[in-house]
A = this chain, B = another copy of it.
Amino acid sequence: MKTLLIKQARICGRETDVLVENGKIARIEKGMKAKADKTIDGRGKVILPGFYNLHTHAAMTLLRGYAEDMELEDWLTKKIWPAEAKFNEDDIYWGTKLACLEMIKSGTVCFNDMYWHQEAALQAVTETGMRAFIGLTMIDGHPLGFHQDTNEVWEKIKNKQTDKIKFALAPHALYTVAEENLKWAARFAKVNNLLIHFHVSETEKEVDDCQKKYGLRPIEFLDKIGFLGPEVILAHSIWLAEKEIEILVKRKCHLVYNPTSNMKLSSGVMSFSRLKKGGINICLGTDSASSNNNLDMIEEMKLAAVLQKLANGQDIKVKDIFAAATRNGARALRLEGGIVKEGQTADFILIDTERLDFLPGFDLLNDLVFSASSECVDTVVCGGDVLMENREIKGEKELIGEIKKRYGRYPSPRD
């Protein structure tokens, strides 16, 4: 039995010890007399749940800064898809690994990914110790993925899932996957008990095009073809009419708010407050490093909060945003995580609050969301494994060297 002991850290303002056994939080108790395989000094640190990043395309870290100052459609069709078509398995491995380290560094324990070459991604994630859902991406006519292949890929890799890493089905979007393939995906997901990860209603144009093509708004159409259910995680979900929100409530879909990407690509603003009132589970995601351009959930929480305050007033509070970044994500992924309590999965982080950005300290969550830099994340524990300690990740320096050697582009004329 593998054990980990955190000594004298704070939870909810009180100093306590935390004992982890076999990947679960076994006991939370002050001054515990326990021995463990590894002990971490938690003095001056606060224990919080780690972040669940519910919408990523991890390997696109390799395209960070590659296509700038563009709106979604041009950005995708003129720059991103042609570049992606050249990626091979090796690229996916290195890009995913870079993404994982960046996510760990900013306190993320788990991500929900949509990309290609799933075996290479699986390899990269496994090596970092993170938790992930790796999407089997479907795009009609894409050189690498359409639904016939998905079946083959699934048959080949389905037994490679681990405790931490699962596969999900990821049809790309309404404008890239035909009706019959979406129906196929819905059936396939149900038969194989897979989560579905999908982009929807990211731009107003997407809604217009759907209405022209199908005579229905996106969510109405998806409901009509039987695509929606509690296994469905919908990224973006910006341009929703009232009747669509009612469908989403009824079908118990999970939504992912991606504020930075939505701002950067001029897409729009999710109606968080309205959706929350309907009782919809809203999660948080960074989207990819080529439309963000990082994978930092602490920064994402800040943008999430201030964007809602700009667009919809002061209705959405810090606790809503923190929940979206932690337990709501775990819930959508059907994980026992996102809360630090006995019996839960040991997916947590230690935050260093002995810093300028946590002073004077009126409220920890406010300081974390609005003030803190992700540099405050000191230690990351995922399923009981210590992925980072004192801001050090094993192999980080070597990875930076390797990525620089393979993909590095500095110095450029503008630096």
Chain A interface residues toward B at CB < 8 A: 10, 12-14, 46, 61-62, 64-66, 68-71, 98, 101-102, 105-106, 260, 262-269, 289, 292-294, 296, 299, 302-303, 305-307, 309-310, 313-314, 317-318, 353-367, 370-375, 396, 399-400, 403-404, 407-415
A82 CB to closest chain B CB, in angstroms? 15
Partner of A69, one of B62, B317, B408, B410: B317
Contact A359 B408 (CB under 8 A): yes
Does the CB pair B65–A371 fall under 8 Å?
yes
Tell me which residues across on chain B come within 8 A of A268, comparing CB atoms: 310
Q: List 17 A-B contacts (CB under 8 A).
A: A64-B359, A64-B367, A64-B371, A65-B361, A65-B363, A68-B318, A68-B366, A71-B314, A106-B373, A264-B305, A289-B371, A299-B299, A307-B310, A356-B396, A359-B403, A364-B410, A373-B375
Does A359 lie within 8 Å of B264, measured CB to CB? no
B363/A68 in contact, CB under 8 A: yes
In the assembled complex, the Cα of A287 lies from the Cα of B246 at a distance in Å of 40
- Asked, given contacts A292-B370, A306-B264, whether A364 binds B66 with beta carbons under 8 Å apart, the answer is no
| A10-B415 in contact given A70-B314, A262-B310, A357-B102 (Cβ < 8 Å) | yes
Contacts of A373 in B (CB 8 A): 106, 294, 296, 299, 373-375
Q: Nearest chain B CB to A64's CB is how many angstroms away? A: 6
Whether the Cβ atoms of B102 and A408 lie closer than 8 Å is: no
Shortest beta-carbon distance from A177 to chain B in Å: 27
Q: Is the CB of A309 within 8 A of B265?
A: yes
Chain B residues with CB under 8 A of A403: 359-360
Those 3 A-B pairs whose CB atoms lie nearest each other, nearest first? A364-B415, A13-B411, A65-B362
Contact of A309 with B266 in the complex, beta carbons under 8 Å: yes
What residue of chain B has the Cβ atom nearest to residue A411's Cβ? B13
A411 to B266, alpha carbons, bound, how many Å?
Answer: 40
